Structure 1
């Protein structure tokens, strides 16, 4: 792994940690102090704005493709969205390192009968470097009468024109507490 790929992964994981703790990534300066950018500064800011918009559009494209692969139960296409050394943590805490391990997990899931519902809770795209997606997830397994609710946090990096999953971490959704009884 090259030093730039390593740096991108470190930045992505730092972003995940910052966002989970409620800290925002600092805004990038786009001109001289005081905001008085000259003509070339304005052109550079416009180009940077177009690049950020292009990165957000690429993220949207790749996120939709990821979801189409999941909904179509297409393990091969889904794994195309994961880096070779990506990690997956299941709601039960089991850890899967590397694309072959993650692929095995999804292959096993896709062999089952289930329905799924995913609701986006938060999306953060930081230029063409890192992105974070927080999703409220529900899987229903009718053959067992079982419903599994969990929150997934997916961390992405942008490599060679595509957004790739670095880590996909899921934790059980909190079960609503029973209403207190008068006593």
Structure 2
């Protein structure tokens, strides 16, 4: 059994995804290395590997496998990784702080109206233009999220945490708009 498997099986790193994959605890990570370590851990911890063992061993393997999968999915996605980095730095969750940039609320309401009008009229050109605009906005927010998550490592003050929370909340609004398109 490898040290990484023992680490995963023991529950060590259960609260720390970076530690689970033996990665530095920062926003910028080596995705290829994460993938290799995920595949290695997945093979080692897969429930089929203990199919002939007792129910307790099978349940433990299933729990470990689920934790490895959740950790991998979180660290692979830049927005989910930023959310995780924020949580590790003591930032508020979306449930604790629902604020969004004030201009986003008005913009979202206007875009929803435009989407409904374009859908009602069957105006695909308008929907395409709106989608392009929202995708641009999403890219801008992702850029701010990346910058703030990187800054959080060296400057974990309240202003950086609060602004990152604000941008992560904004990303949810933009995601909802894209889902309507």
Superposed pair shares fold, TM > 0.5? no
Decide which structure has greater helix share: 2
Higher strand share: 1
TM (norm. structure 2) is 0.29
